[in-house]
Amino acid sequence: MTLLRVQHLSKSFSKNFAVQDVNFTLNEGECGALLGPNGAGKSTTLKMLTGILTPSQGEIMFYGKKSGDFRHLIGYLPQEPKMHPWMTGREALRFMGQLSHMEKRDLDDRVEELLSLLGIKKAANRHVSTYSGGMKQRLGIAQAIIHRPKLVIMDEPVSALDPIGRREMLDLLKSIKQETTILFSTHILHDVKELSDRVFIINQGQVVVNSTFNQLIADHQQPVFFIEAERNIDQWTKSLQSKSETIEATEALGNQARIRVNDIAKARKELLMMIERDEIPLQRFEIMQTTLEEIFLKMVKQ
């Protein structure tokens, strides 16, 4: 069932469009990633979905309805969660639940449940001002899901964390994904691969890719030959593209090369012939695939 539908969504500031004609849908139970470089329009889009910003044009529909108060359906984690520093973690969660009009008994149980789930129960009676960045992020996620929303919107949920914190947060998001629909923004490609069912690549305020993750890979991943030699082969690598129609791009890396092709069988035959002809002292010859990073760069450069 379609939970969220966005049609022709745009936002302009002083005649300059930060987001322009964005369209996508997200079904119940899916995890969608809004992927793009810094300044692409990700945060602006999410703020319009939450009601923080008013769209200049376009429609935002929840369960097919164009109008109404949808805030009870949404949980929101901003890029930098802000809590009253003088509150304890437990008080902050209870306060957010009260703002969502939760009944006291349900709220008390939910606060304790989330403190345990997010791993901050031991710090529940400490002031938020004493929390580390990772703990504040955990508390931010807890406040976003305390009222059991249908959709959790997160703006760069792991970008400010260290590698250990990122790993822990990704595991938490996977568990949350089992209970609710998620839409998060990121510029970290690894997070998309781990979490996402759908990918929306946004660049300069426009969605340039709207696809399932698997379909994105199927449509855009290409075979790549990895070559390693006993000496520097930069010049040889750079000359290859003009010698074969099967070679689409090359990357010179000293004594290594990455060569993207459109026909594996033909390219293998041609490359081996050129390696032998040019007396390249071969150490490694391997067929790989284009990475998610290469697909992303290709999409935002079009």
Q: Of 190, 218, 246, which residue constitutes the final position of a domain?
A: 218
CA 261 to the chain's CA centroid: 28
Range of the domain at 258: 221-301
Taken in order 210, 214, 215, 220, the sign of the CA dihedral is positive
**Same domain membership, residue 180 and residue 87:** yes
The per-residue pLDDT for 160 is 66
Domain count, the chain: 2
Residue percentage of the chain with pLDDT more than 70 = 99
Pairing of strands 181-186, 31-35: parallel
What's the pTM value of the predicted model, to 2 decimals?
0.81
CA 148 to the chain's CA centroid: 22
Say if residues 195 and 292 touch (Cβ distance below 8 Å): no
**Same domain membership, residue 292 and residue 172:** no
**Same domain membership, residue 204 and residue 73:** yes
Say if residues 196 and 32 touch (Cβ distance below 8 Å): yes
Mean pLDDT over each residue of the chain, to the nearest integer: 89
**Same domain membership, residue 212 and residue 162:** yes
Q: What is the mean pLDDT of residues 29-46?
A: 90
Q: Of 163, 194, 218, which residue constitutes the final position of a domain?
A: 218
Pairing of strands 31-35, 198-203: parallel
Output b/e per residue, 59-83; b: 16+ Cβ within 10 A: ebbbeeeeeeebeebbbbbbeebeb
Res 222 pLDDT > 70: yes
**CATH number, domain containing residue 236:** 3.30.70
pLDDT tens-digit series, residues 154-169: 998 876 677 777 888 8
Q: What strand order describes the sheet that includes 256-261?
A: 247-253, 256-261, 223-229, 282-289
Res 120 pLDDT > 80: yes
Q: Of 171, 196, 218, which residue constitutes the final position of a domain?
A: 218
Res 247 pLDDT > 80: yes
Res 48 pLDDT > 80: yes
Taken in order 102, 106, 108, 110, the sign of the CA dihedral is negative
Res 214 pLDDT > 90: no
**Same domain membership, residue 208 and residue 77:** yes
Q: How far apart are CA 250 and CA 225, in angstroms?
A: 9
User: In terms of Cα–Cα distance, which of 20, 11, 13, 16 is closest to 205?
Assistant: 20
**Same domain membership, residue 228 and residue 135:** no
**Same domain membership, residue 285 and residue 204:** no
Residues sharing a CB contact under 8 Å with residue 87, sequence separation 6 or more, in sequence order: 95, 127, 128
Q: How far apart are CA 94 and CA 295, in angstroms?
A: 43
Q: How far apart are CA 125 and CA 141, in angstroms?
A: 18
**Same domain membership, residue 233 and residue 87:** no
Residue percentage of the chain with pLDDT more than 90 = 57
Res 190 pLDDT > 80: no
**Same domain membership, residue 228 and residue 198:** no
Q: What is the mean pLDDT of residues 79-97?
A: 91
